[in-house]
């Protein structure tokens, strides 16, 4: 199972993310899913993931503005289930609208990060995120 699960429906953003991951040259595995519905199936072992018993990622990076099931809804579903209730979820969004930030926290995210919008800044940001969430953060891991 990957360390980082990234839910992003914008192909460019996903591509830039992948490039940055390679550039980081750190032993971090990741999976990118392009829709909220697929993310929920993945986390709950349903649909195309029915047969796979996958361990949870150490960190979920979640774009909020998704086509179909929104990021907020993904958080709400995750927080209902015992398995994913304490999964670290970071909202990773273009929006800095206070109302978006508020509703994301209300749904149960652990942190909110506004996409910096530049390649270099995004790279630095990801590096800092991994330092903390993958190295320093202690999780409760359900099997």
117 lies in the binding site for other proteins (CB under 8 A):
yes
Q: List the one residue from 31, 44, 65, 110 that touches other proteins (CB under 8 A).
A: 65
**Among 10-18, 25-33, 71-79, 80-88, the segment contacting other proteins (CB under 8 A):** 10-18
Closest CB to other proteins among residues 94, 110 = 94
User: Would you give the binding string for other proteins spanning residues 16-45, x where CB under 8 A is met?
Assistant: x--x--------------------------
70-to-85, 104, 119 alpha-carbon distances in Å = 18, 11, 25
Q: Shortest approach of other proteins to residue 126 CB, angstroms?
A: 13
118 lies in the binding site for other proteins (CB under 8 A):
yes
Which residues, in sequence order, are CB contacts of 39 under 8 Å at separation 6+?
5, 7, 33, 60, 62, 69, 74
Rounded distance between C-alpha atoms, residue 99 and residue 119, angstroms:
26
Ranges assigned E (strand) in the chain:
4-7, 30-33, 59-62, 89-93, 111-114
Q: Are 64 and 72 in contact (CB under 8 A)?
A: yes
User: Would you give the binding string for other proteins spanning residues 96-115, x where CB under 8 A is met?
Assistant: xxx----------------x
84 lies in the binding site for other proteins (CB under 8 A):
no
Rounded distance between C-alpha atoms, residue 138 and residue 35, angstroms:
28
Interface residues with other proteins (CB under 8 A)?
Answer: 10, 12-13, 16, 19, 65, 94-98, 115, 117-120, 122
């Amino acid at each position: 199972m990957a360390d980082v699960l990234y839910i992003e429906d914008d192909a460019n953003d996903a591509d830039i993310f992948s490039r940055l991951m390679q550039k980081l040259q750190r032993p971090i595995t990741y999976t990118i899913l392009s829709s909220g519905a697929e993310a929920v199936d993945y986390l709950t072992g349903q649909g195309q993931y029915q047969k796979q018993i996958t361990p949870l990622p150490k960190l979920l990076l979640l774009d909020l503005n998704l086509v179909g099931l929104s990021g907020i809804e993904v958080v709400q579903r995750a927080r209902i289930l015992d398995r994913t209730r304490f999964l670290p979820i970071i909202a990773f969004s273009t929006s800095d609208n206070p109302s978006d930030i508020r509703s994301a926290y209300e749904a149960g995210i652990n942190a909110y990060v506004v996409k910096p919008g530049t390649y270099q800044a995004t790279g630095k940001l990801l590096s800092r995120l991994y330092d903390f969430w993958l190295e320093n953060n202690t999780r409760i891991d359900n099997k």
